[in-house]
Amino acid sequence: MAGRLNRVLVLTGSGISAESGIPTFRGPEGYWRNFDPTKLATEAAFVRDPATVWEWYRERRERIAHSSPNAAHVALVELAAAANEFLLVTQNVDDLHGRAEWNGRRLDPAQIVQIHGDIFATRCSNCDFRRRNPAEDVGAVPKCPVCSASLRPDVVWFDEELDPARVRGVQIFLEKGDCDFVLVIGTTAVFSYITEWALAGRGANGRLIEINPDETALSPLADERMRVPAGTIAGTLVEKLVDRGLKSEAC
């Protein structure tokens, strides 16, 4: 195995899935350019028109199921294999990070925190019932087998809080110390916790690298900005970071 890295934190957004054919949210072809988020991605929208919300999530599930991880997703599996400690915090509800394979390996699920939830999971709008089997989500608005209330996609909507257990998982990783590298890939970083976690992960000694063709809210805080599509960095990213990691160890 080539050189090793000690600790690496990666934060991703919809941009990393763009080259897999999944629309971003705020880009020219993005979801929020074509749909009104308040009509589809809020609890109020679900209460008002659950069937339309389910129709949109079913379309997104279908599109994701027919998409494949791209070179950037694969590169993160290679990166995780080169790090002693690795955490991926993704805002994406798609399963492309979990499906990506490098040398027959995938990310360990414990290395992935889907901070905005999992589009293929379903939960009850009333009780604690949860399941992850889209085939069982039948009918315009699937009903809870326990309490008969409406089931909903197990994702975070605009007017909702993050799952404390997922947030705790990120904090526990951050509390273990600075990272050699924090990569922020394919996100406008509109949510403050993304910037907060990126800075906390870098600490005093790490390097914060943004991989995004465009400027973002996080750009001024980055030590390095790779203004390229995430898929293009794939082949060279790991060796660059490992090489950098070795150099900084040497000095």
Q: Which residues bind ligand OAD (CB under 6 A)?
A: 13-16, 18-19, 24-27, 30, 91, 116, 156, 185-188, 190, 211-214, 216, 229-230
Q: Which is nearer to ligand OAD, 132 or 247 (CB)?
A: 132
Q: Which is nearer to ligand OAD, 24 or 195 (CB)?
A: 24
Q: What is the per-residue burial (b if ≥16 Cβ within 10 Å, else e) of 180-201? A: bbbbbbbbbbebebbbebbebb
Residue nearest to ligand OAD (CB): 15
Active site includes 116? yes
- The active-site residue out of 66, 73, 97, 116 is 116
- The distance of closest approach from Cβ of residue 157 to ligand OAD in the complex, given in angstroms and rounded to an integer, is 6
Q: Which is nearer to ligand OAD, 165 or 204 (CB)?
A: 165
Select from 203, 197, 196, 160 the least CA-distant residue to 180. Answer: 203
- The distance of closest approach from Cβ of residue 34 to ligand OAD in the complex, given in angstroms and rounded to an integer, is 12
Q: Assign residue 203 a region (left: φ > 0; alpha: ψ between -120 and 50; beta: otherwise).
A: left
- The distance of closest approach from Cβ of residue 2 to ligand OAD in the complex, given in angstroms and rounded to an integer, is 25
Neighbour order of strands in the sheet with 151-155: 130-131, 117-124, 151-155
- 134: which 2 tokens? 């889209």
Residue with tokens 């976690």: 197
- The distance of closest approach from Cβ of residue 177 to ligand OAD in the complex, given in angstroms and rounded to an integer, is 27
Active-site amino acid positions: 116
